[in-house]
Structure 1
Amino acid sequence: MSDSELLVTSADGVVTVVFNRPQRHNAFTKAMYAEMRALFEDLATRPDVRVVVLRGAGGRAFAAGNDIGDFLDEDDASAYEEWIGEMLAALFDLPQVTIAAIDGVCVGGGLAVATHCDIRIATPESRFGYPIAKTLGNALSAPVLYRCAAAFGEGVTRTMLLTGRLVDAERAYDVGALTEVTEDLNASIDALVGEITFASATTQRASKRQLNAQVRANEVQPDFDRPMLGDVYSGPDFKEGVRAFLAKEKPSFGRG
């Protein structure tokens, strides 16, 4: 496989994006986010593309969050989070049908990408969540949290975030977050792509525009969100979470 961290191929109206950092469970770097953003901006102008499939390399992870080193390189981690949010919004707004094909761990930034796709399918061993309450001590932006709640439901989302627990594929399917759980991910992708490309692009694009408009109306980012995230990312828990993560230790968060 190529040394590139983001592999993009195109054939017969289908663009496939592979996150290619298997040695790091496909954790996203800033460069990968920038490439995705540029790709999504280009795809928004491409009526010849009908389907966008996103998946991870290596068979162990879709994507395991963000590369923590990139947060250390940022003067304002909350601004970096907001920049990532703009990329996610570009993915969500694509006129094409988007599929997250998940094989393994799908957490943090990986789950954010997956929940901004139209359809999610996964292997039985896949796991989902935001374990940040027991790892980094940061917080999600409101738009990312709302996408998770829309996919998994409020109850499961609350449990994910308040306990740090991961959700297995069976539970994710039961609550409607997954369209399918499959032992043969490639065959399921092919079947799904066949259905989508056979169907009316006019119907798909019109339906996505309507559904996304409803989402925008209902999922308004509260005024306190940005300053709150600034406090979170400049606070002691995130500092301790990053220190412990890099040291491969359990963090010792404040209990206040």
Structure 2
Amino acid sequence: MSAAPVWGPVSERAGGQVRLRSQLGAIEVTFNRPEKHNAFTTAMYAELERICELAAITPALRVVVFRGAGGRAFAAGNDISSFTDVSSGADGVAYESRIRGVLDGIAGMPQLTIAAVEGHCVGGGLAVANACDLRIATPTARFGFPIARTLGNALSAPIVLRCAEVFGDPLTREMLLASRMVDARRAASVGAVMEVVAPERLEAEVWGVAAGVMHAAPLTIRTTKEQLRDGRAHYDAEADDTRLERAYGSDDFKEGVVAFLAKRQPAFRGEVPERHYKSPYAAE
């Protein structure tokens, strides 16, 4: 990493349960309930929805990082008190539908998303981490969906299938069917985690990756994410041609060719109309 990030003021959201800080081209979202291992509340999910909505209309934003406060957990699932209103199967379906919408919003962000994982990353926390593009963890990280031994509920299929895409089918079965936790070493061995670093190096590692992405071509990132999200099963040649036309027809592609031939670093701007950017996530 060439230089430390220059952060704006911290913004408290969802009654302080979510903290945001921003720098030029990036935001960091911190789940802030360390006394509850950062378990998600309804208010926290609502804030995640808002962040996804803003990200979709903020082309100057390049990177979104998610992390948990306190060092003991990324997020240890959902706050169990939120299930007291679930009194029927239909209520459960409605609940899962809401969560699925939030996770789809994170997975659908055009920006690169990184989960910085320390400690427990369980249930809803793992679902959020799996919705991110990359995961960087410390040796204390533990991943799992032990719901068969705890609540006795079930996850919506997209959450299960996304976990299989990230961790692979065997480890997903182990986590869900045997209720076993997966440590950082095993997660890294199957590529679910891109790097395992000491806690004191987590910040530098995450923002080192982010710094590189903030100099990359946003349309290339966006196109690749869309292709990966659709997968082979939903490949559509016409839709893909539209994406390719967007990338090849961009000013960034012209800049990339010129810069490469001139042996200099390209200055990619994506779809940002102005070079400078003021974050809409700043403290209100």
- Give yes or no for TM over 0.5: yes
CA deviation map 1:75-110 (0-9, x unaligned):
512211111100100110000000000011000000
Choose from 53, 63, 80 the match for 1:51: 63
Separation in structure 1 between the aligned mates of residue 149 and residue 232 of structure 2, nearest angstrom: 30
Letter in 1 for 2:83: F
Aligned to 1:224: none
Quick check: 1:150 aligned with 2:165? yes
Instruction: Pick closer, same or farther for the CA change 1:215–1:47 going to 2, 3 Å.
Output: farther
Aligned to 2:79: 67
Quick check: 1:21 aligned with 2:33? yes
Separation in structure 2 between the aligned mates of residue 203 and residue 37 of structure 1, nearest angstrom: 25
Quick check: 1:79 aligned with 2:94? yes
Q: CA deviation at 1:216?
A: 7.2
Larger Rg: 2
Quick check: 1:211 aligned with 2:235? no
Equivalent residues, number: 218
Q: CA deviation at 1:197?
A: 0.9
Separation in structure 1 between the aligned mates of residue 60 and residue 86 of structure 2, nearest angstrom: 37
Quick check: 1:116 aligned with 2:131? yes
Aligned to 1:253: none
Aligned to 1:125: 140
Structure 2, unaligned stretches of length 5 or more? 1-9, 236-284
Q: CA deviation at 1:38?
A: 1.3
Aligned to 1:139: 154
Structure 1, unaligned stretches of length 5 or more? 219-256
Instruction: Pick closer, same or farther for the CA change 1:102–1:42 going to 2, 3 Å.
Output: same
Matches within 5 A, 1:99-114: 99-114=114-129
Q: CA deviation at 1:164?
A: 0.5
Q: CA deviation at 1:195?
A: 1.2
Aligned to 2:267: none
Aligned to 2:266: none
Q: CA deviation at 1:194?
A: 1.2
Separation in structure 2 between the aligned mates of residue 130 and residue 216 of structure 1, nearest angstrom: 26
Separation in structure 1 between the aligned mates of residue 42 and residue 116 of structure 2, nearest angstrom: 22
Letter in 2 for 1:187: A
Choose from 41, 44, 58 the match for 1:32: 44
Aligned to 1:194: 211
Instruction: Pick closer, same or farther for the CA change 1:216–1:37 going to 2, 3 Å.
Output: farther
Separation in structure 1 between the aligned mates of residue 218 and residue 55 of structure 2, nearest angstrom: 15
Q: CA deviation at 1:211?
A: 1.2
Aligned to 1:172: 187
Separation in structure 1 between the aligned mates of residue 17 and residue 234 of structure 2, nearest angstrom: 35
Percent of aligned positions with the same letter in both sequences?
Answer: 52
- TM-score normalised to structure 1 length: 0.82
- TM-score normalised to structure 2 length: 0.74
Q: CA deviation at 1:151?
A: 0.5
Alpha-carbon RMSD across the aligned residues, in angstroms, is: 1.5
Aligned to 2:256: none
